A and B are shown apart, each in its own frame.
Chain A
Amino acid sequence: MTTVQQTKRKLLSEDWYRHTASGVELLVSDCNTCGHRWFPPRSACSSCASEDLTRTHTGARGIAYASSKVHVGGAPWPKEYVLSYIDIDGVRVLMHTNSDQALTPDTPVTIALGHIGTDNATELWSYIAHPVGKDIESPEATS
């Protein structure tokens, strides 16, 4: 007997990343005037106010700068979850992390899409860090 899943999925911040064969790449803006790189992408540079920006993307690999296992989660987040600051091609991005414990600083990670919380019956998905060596759950496989 099969049960029909009623769970819906919502992609958070989906304008800020793209899904490729190598994983999830973050969309960024490079300022052609002063050289600053911005995530999320911006229409004007927050350093020099230039509007001469190029939209580009990072790779799908980064390094954990710092990490913590949070034990006081409340809806829509899980009761416990790991957050990490991930350094990835010039930007530092906070993301949920597929790990039971905080990552040691400088742990290499890959970026993929993952389930980060549940708002009523809707699964919230966003970019998520996977310490290298861990299997990555493919969103296609669970669709």
Chain B
Amino acid sequence: MRNVFVAGAAVAPFGKYKDSTPAELGGTSALELMQSVGVSPDRVDTGFVGSVYGGSLIAQRVLQRVGISGQPIFSVENACASGGSAVNLAFQAIASGIADSAIVVGVDQLSTFGGGALPLTTADVETAQGVIMPATYAMRAQRYLHQAGAEPMVLDRISVKNRGNGAHNPRAHFQKSITLDDVAQSRRVADPLKLLHCCPNSDGAAALFLCSEDFGRDLAVDLVRVRASVVRSGQFHTSYRDMTWPDITERTARAAYEMAGITAADLDVVELHDAFAIAELLHAEALGLTERWKAHVAVTAGEFDRDGRVAVSPSGGLLSRGHPVGASGVSQLCEMYWQITGTAGDLQVPGASVALTHTTGGGIFGVDNGACSVHVLAAD
């Protein structure tokens, strides 16, 4: 297997862009990426576009805008892990030697749905009974707080931390700090979750350029090695699932650590899937950032702060940046590329050299999540 490198990253700022289209949003980030990497469209061997609601042939519609047309290109849908899954396919293409260069774009436009919870897949047993994603995470939260003996206020702290980080991120949907009181005063969504425990439905796109070592040698850009790229699916069953332990995250992370030859203790910085505040606790434990039932203690002690033991979501996470679902995984990798190349500006985690990104998603019955992607980037 060949080494694979990230050679460039671009994020179109997340927010509400009702007058745009997914193809335009994706095209904007693709164009910025191509210009920053300095490659012409004919030098791109293959392309992958992750999107959930972008529609048929979204990859063609995005990449045609920047002259990538005729090559093998693919649209990838894996719920919130669509972008991460698209990166994984590009990684496989280069690692196997089938391609020397690949463009990956993640894009979604959720403002077209109006407000409220995202529409879940139809013909699902639980959707038919009235479940929505905030309710699923709310029940995970209730059970976690109950079993860990944690104070509900830890959820408020996570929102305050991540929104505080996002206040420094010019690409974030929300660029304003909030207080514990703001969270407590926000309206109830699904007990114990309030509005400020939930990420916003956003519009946005992100793009990443991957290449082989030989291809990268000719580029006038910093290269960051992809030490691991792993995707796993949820294991389906209808018996008593432990909803406080996202086993899909644990399985994906374990495979990624093995591929990268590292342990969780080596990580300097992590962007994980904090679509709801409780998710930071569940996934931090499953990623091995802290012991089981101790993530709430770590948050309260500041261990996940930007200057803490391991920085968790220094970009602001999904809670600040927003969650245009297909774009989220790609944008996390963009943020980590800038961290490792020391170009993250106000978001920079001093000395960041080993980074992990994690996206998981898919509200379907019988699995804790439908799909999960984990990537490890490292400076060497």
Please report A residues at the B interface, Cβ cutoff 8 Å. Answer: 12-13, 36-40, 46-47, 65-74, 77, 81, 83-85, 87, 90-92, 94-96, 101-102, 104-105, 116-117, 126
Contact = CB atoms under 8 A, between A and B. Distances in A.
Interface of B: 116-117, 125-126, 128-132, 134-135, 138-140, 142-143, 146-147, 187-193, 236-241, 243, 365-366
A68 B138 contact: yes
A78 B125 CA distance: 19
Contact of B142 (A47, A67, A94): A67
A95 B365 CA distance: 13
Contacts of B138: 68, 70
B240 A65 contact: yes
A91 B140 contact: no
Contacts of B240: 65, 87, 90, 92
A116 B129 contact: yes
Contacts of B189: 70-72
Contact of B130 (A67, A90, A117): A117
Contact of B243 (A47, A77, A85, A126): A85
A67 B131 CA distance: 11
B142 A105 contact: yes
Given A72-B189, A94-B126, A96-B129, A65 B134 contact: no
Main secondary structure of the interface of A (DSSP, over half): strand
B238 to A, nearest CB: 5
A47 B237 contact: yes
A30 to B, nearest CB: 12
Closest 6 CB pairs of A and B: A66-B139, A68-B138, A66-B143, A69-B191, A71-B188, A94-B126
Given A67-B142, A70-B134, A72-B190, A37 B128 contact: no
A92 B238 contact: yes
Given A70-B135, A71-B188, A96 B116 contact: no
Which residue among A36, A65, A94, A101 has the maximum number of chain B CB atoms within 10 Å of its CB?
A: A94
A100 B125 CA distance: 24
A94 B129 contact: yes
17 contacts: A12-B129, A39-B238, A46-B237, A46-B366, A66-B143, A68-B190, A68-B191, A70-B135, A71-B188, A72-B117, A72-B134, A74-B116, A77-B130, A87-B240, A91-B238, A92-B241, A104-B146
B130 A116 contact: yes
Contacts of A46: 236-237, 366
Which residue among B117, B143, B187, B190 has the maximum number of chain A CB atoms within 10 Å of its CB?
A: B190
A68 B130 contact: no
A68 B142 contact: yes
Contacts of A71: 187-191
